[in-house]
């Protein structure tokens, strides 16, 4: 049997006429249409000289055509390389130079600028996609036959390269195989109970693991369908939600839904599941959502290199602040970051894992790849966490976010949870800033909830009753909003840079 993920997708289609994707205007694209369209795009790639193992880089806004291109890459054995649509030409130059794609696909208004840069790297094929289907690659595909024989592959062959966010150091290309994607999607279909009856509200970007692999592949392997939104628009989400059974989002989605008076228990009653990921969901938002809707958000945990790792249970307690249990087939352990010794429940250490979801390494970085794996094959995530007494995994923060103040470790998530429980605080980020006496000063940056004023002295006094003194923030700074990247993750590196001189004499 071929290891090609598309072969698995095609084999699971029970009803070719069933809808796969529905657009906001009501236009429906069936599974049969999906096979034909991906075949046309696969033939277009072949005509452009794309073959097995070639990289196809894509930097566009979110269009339905991107799905056909992704699936075409699977069918031809090409390696799909999605890039954040917000990257500048200078940033793209690094990725293109590193991955050396044979084809670059972009928005029409970026073509001239990118072509000049790409030609200097020896990349000659630049095509376009756009919202109305008149991009040059779409026009090529329209002229092609829908029939395409999906090529035979090993499950270890690469399906995609996804670059890590690069918040520190050089961005790394995580090599994701067909087996990595298939095993993860099959596990999610199983534990989240997705079926052909499900309709997913898809408002996530598709240059990232969450929207491209978690959402799309789970739908494809379950035979379900999705309502397609080019971006998260609160009015459109509220309008389309009555037609859906499931939603995947980042915490910001749920925070914004809670600002709507019409997002009521009745509005959410028909929904089977709400799933959150890509950034930590505060326990307060989790509780507020449940109080409003009667439904508990299902939080899960994953990363670019591994897709999904753990999930709160579908049946059973979905613990606020916890990310649940390891997925089927995945082994998770907590280890001492320095020695690698496995720790007991309740002890904070680095999260490590092994399983069929773990990537094949970093593109053209064998030394870096070797550094990120233990001798017994466990991948070192760099995330800090612990198992509680019931076996749930809780994330304490990234190791780079660990604060060492006066020689004592402070885990930001613990302080953030205490802050988020205060009625006047909507959300918070805790960082370490240079401090003359303590090395790092624990510092909180908060956004007000509107339920009373943020009084730094009063807040610190309250926190001192909940936290050890060395964990209590030395300063609490109020902002209108916390800086976030496009996936909703708080950019603590931006906060550290902005307030780096706070404790300077």
Give the pLDDT confidence of 225-262 residue by residue, as tens digits: 999 999 999 999 999 999 999 999 998 899 899 999 99
The SS3 assignment for 33 reads helix
pLDDT band at 168 (very low <50, low <70, confident <90, very high): very low
Residue range 338-364: mean pLDDT, rounded: 96
Q: Is the pLDDT of residue 280 over 80?
A: yes
Which pLDDT score is estimated for 2?
81
- For the purposes of burial, counting CB atoms within 10 Å of the CB of 399, is it exposed (0-12), middle (13-18) or buried (19 or more)? middle
- 3-state SS string over 135-196? CHHHHHHHCCCCCCCCCCCCCCCEEEEEECCCCCCCCCEEEEEHHHHHHHHHHHHHHCCCCC
Q: Which residue spans within 281-388 are E strands per DSSP?
A: 298-303, 307-311, 325-326, 331-335, 349-354, 379-387
Which of 494, 495, 504 minimizes the C-alpha distance to 434?
Answer: 504
> Could you read off the pLDDT of 391-435 as tens digits, one per residue?
999 998 777 788 988 878 888 988 998 899 999 999 999 999 999
Look at 3-17, 168-182, 213-227 and tell me which has the smallest mean pLDDT.
Answer: 168-182
Q: Above 80 in pLDDT, residue 390?
A: yes
pTM: 0.88
Residue-wise pLDDT tens digits, 308-335: 999 999 999 999 989 999 999 999 999 9
How sure is the predictor about 505, in pLDDT bands with cuts at 50, 70 and 90?
Answer: low
Q: Mean pLDDT across the stretch 49-72?
A: 98
Confidence of residue 169 (pLDDT cuts 50, 70, 90): low
Task: Catalogue all structural domains in the chain, each as residue range(s) with its CATH number.
Answer: 5-189 (3.40.50.12780), 250-398 (3.40.50.12780), 402-498 (3.30.300.30)
How do residues 65-112 score in pLDDT, each as one tens digit? Answer: 999 999 999 999 999 999 988 888 888 999 999 999 999 999 999 999
- Specify the pLDDT at position 9: 98
CA distance 187 to 282: 25
Instruction: Please give the pLDDT value at position 401.
Output: 83
Confirm if 457 and 472 have CB atoms less than 8 A apart: no
> At residue 41, does pLDDT exceed 50?
yes
Tokens encoding 316: 């059973």
What's the pLDDT at 215?
A: 98
Q: What is the reported pLDDT for 1?
A: 63
């Amino acid at each position: 049997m071929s290891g090609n993920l598309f072969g698995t997708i095609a084999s699971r289609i029970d009803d070719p006429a069933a809808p796969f994707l529905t657009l906001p205007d009501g236009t429906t694209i069936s599974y049969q249409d999906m096979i034909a369209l991906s075949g046309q795009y696969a033939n277009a790639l072949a005509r452009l000289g794309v073959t097995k193992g070639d990289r196809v880089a894509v930097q566009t806004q979110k269009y339905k055509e991107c799905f056909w291109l992704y699936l075409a890459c699977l069918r031809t054995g090409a390696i799909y390389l999605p890039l954040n649509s917000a990257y500048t030409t200078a940033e793209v130059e690094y990725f293109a130079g590193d991955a050396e794609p044979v084809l670059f696909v972009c928005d029409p208004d970026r073509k001239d600028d990118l072509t000049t840069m790409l030609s200097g790297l020896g990349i000659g094929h630049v095509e376009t996609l756009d919202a109305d289907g008149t991009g040059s690659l779409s026009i090529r595909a329209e002229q092609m036959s829908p029939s395409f024989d999906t090529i035979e592959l090993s499950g270890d062959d690469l399906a995609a390269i996804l670059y890590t966010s690069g918040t520190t150091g050089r961005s790394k290309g995580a090599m994701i195989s067909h087996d990595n994607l298939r095993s993860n999607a099959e596990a999610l279909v199983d534990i989240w109970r997705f079926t052909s009856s499900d309709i997913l509200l898809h408002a996530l970007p598709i240059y990232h693991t969450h929207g491209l692999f978690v959402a799309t592949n789970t739908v494809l392997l379950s035979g379900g369908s999705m309502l397609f939104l080019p971006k998260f628009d609160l009015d459109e989400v509220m309008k389309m939600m009555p037609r859906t059974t499931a939603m995947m989002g980042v915490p910001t989605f749920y925070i914004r839904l809670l600002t709507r008076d019409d997002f009521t228990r009745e509005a959410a009653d028909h929904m089977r599941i709400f799933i959150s990921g890509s950034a930590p969901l505060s326990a307060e938002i989790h509780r507020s959502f449940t109080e409003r809707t009667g439904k508990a958000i299902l939080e899960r945990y994953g990363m670019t290199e591994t897709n999904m790792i753990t999930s709160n249970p579908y049946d059973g307690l979905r613990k606020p602040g916890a990310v649940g249990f390891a997925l089927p087939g995945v082994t998770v352990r907590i280890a001492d970051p320095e020695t690698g010794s496995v720790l007991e429940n309740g002890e904070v250490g680095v999260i490590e894992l092994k399983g069929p979801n773990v990537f094949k390494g970093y593109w053209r970085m064998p030394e870096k790849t070797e550094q990120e794996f233990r001798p017994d094959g466990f991948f070192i995530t760099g995330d800090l966490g612990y198992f509680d007494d019931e076996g749930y995994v809780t994330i304490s923060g990234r190791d780079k976010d660990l604060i060492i103040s006066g020689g004592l470790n402070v885990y930001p998530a613990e302080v953030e949870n205490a802050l988020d429980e205060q009625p006047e605080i909507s959300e918070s980020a805790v960082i370490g800033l240079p401090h003359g006496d303590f090395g790092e000063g624990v510092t909180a940056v908060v956004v007000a909830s509107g339920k009373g004023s943020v009084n730094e002295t009063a807040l610190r006094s309250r926190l001192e009753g909940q936290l050890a003194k060395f964990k209590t923030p030395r300063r609490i700074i109020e902002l209108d909003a916390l800086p976030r990247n496009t996936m909703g993750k708080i950019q603590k590196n931006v906060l550290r840079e902005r307030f780096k001189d706070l404790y300077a004499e």
